[in-house]
Amino acid sequence: MSHQPPVVAIVGPTAIGKTSLSLHLAAEFQGEIISGDSRQVYRKMDIGTAKPTKSELSQIPHHLIDIIDPDDEYNLATFLRNARVAIDDVMSRHKLPVVVGGTGQYLEGLVQGWQVPPVPPQPELRAKLESQAKEGGLTLLVKELFSLDPDTANRIDLKNPRRVIRAIEVARSAGTSPVQIPPAFNPVIIGLTMDRDQLDHRINRRTDAMITEGWVGEVKELLDQGYSLDLPSMSSLGYRELARHLNDGLVLEEAVIEIKRQTRRFARKQYTWFKPTDPRIHWFNADDNAHPQITTFLADTLDQG
């Protein structure tokens, strides 16, 4: 165990119970929660991003939730800067930082100590690259990214046009991939996993619950306020499908089926970042015994420090 102060990071696929575990551990170990989610930063997008409820937010101090509007820019460099400030803030009050979220790139960058240059958006270059992607597919852009920054190309989802384009944007401006400096804390990474069929069932059940809670109304309100479907925030799982239901007559049941399918697919892809073979991650099955087991593990780990 390192003599550096600990930071707990909770990882795993969507819908597996990371929020519940973070609340439990923060309560048990006098911690505060820092969101490592690229969508929960947006105000007005509560149900579809599976934010903690108002009751949950009132139980434990949370950081990096509801900090920007849906049309504001947010990226890896911004997250890393904000997360490090939040960690220092939590530690200054002798509390345990508990970072939780499903955005693998964000969590990996934080625990690995990536230093990413803060490159502002370049609308003209972005529009040009988007046009190239539409006309000729992603193949040429992926090749360009590999030539500019092979390290980043090997890390990101190369089937995601937005991530590829942003990576090229950063690489052209900075000329280098992120520098890695060991963080000034000891990351204790806890992973939650589950049988695939069980996880699929949880995803389906949670999606149904989101619809019942008023997700369609949330999307309608965003559209009524003029937020474009082209915004990165609106590429969050389910928002464009529900917009098609509202604007184009897509039957709600069909939209829900598609949301469930895409969410299940997304959960599989999250393991690209959270590999079961990663020796840094302490994996636990997300069953009824998970919380007591993880509490005991973390107590022992912190005592060793």
Tens of pLDDT, residue by residue over 219-268, are 999 999 999 998 989 999 999 999 999 999 999 999 999 999 999 999 99
pLDDT of residue 173: 75
**pLDDT attached to residue 302:** 94
d(CA 229, CA 222): 10
- Output the CA angle 188-193-194, nearest 5 degrees: 160
The domains located in the chain, with CATH, are: 6-114+182-194+273-304 (3.40.50.300), 123-174 (1.10.20.140), 196-269 (1.10.287.890)
d(CA 262, CA 92): 41
pLDDT at site 124? 87
- Cβ–Cβ under 8 Å, residues 223 and 247: yes
Strand pairing partners for 191? 11, 283
Q: Which percentage of the chain shows pLDDT scores above 70?
A: 97
pLDDT digits (tens, 9 = 90+) for 56-93: 999 999 999 999 999 998 988 899 999 999 999 999 99
Residue of higher predicted confidence among 304 and 239: 239
Model pLDDT for residues 128-180, shown as the tens digit of each residue: 888 888 888 888 899 888 888 887 787 777 888 888 888 888 788 765 556 78
Q: How far apart, in Å, are the Cα atoms of 187 and each of 9, 89, 287?
A: 7, 17, 24
Q: For residue 1, is pLDDT > 60?
A: no
pLDDT score recorded for residue 161:
86
Tokens 């539409």 found at:
134
The predicted structure's pLDDT at residue 305:
65
Average pLDDT estimate for 202-214: 98
Q: Please tell me the predicted confidence (pLDDT) of residue 170.
A: 79
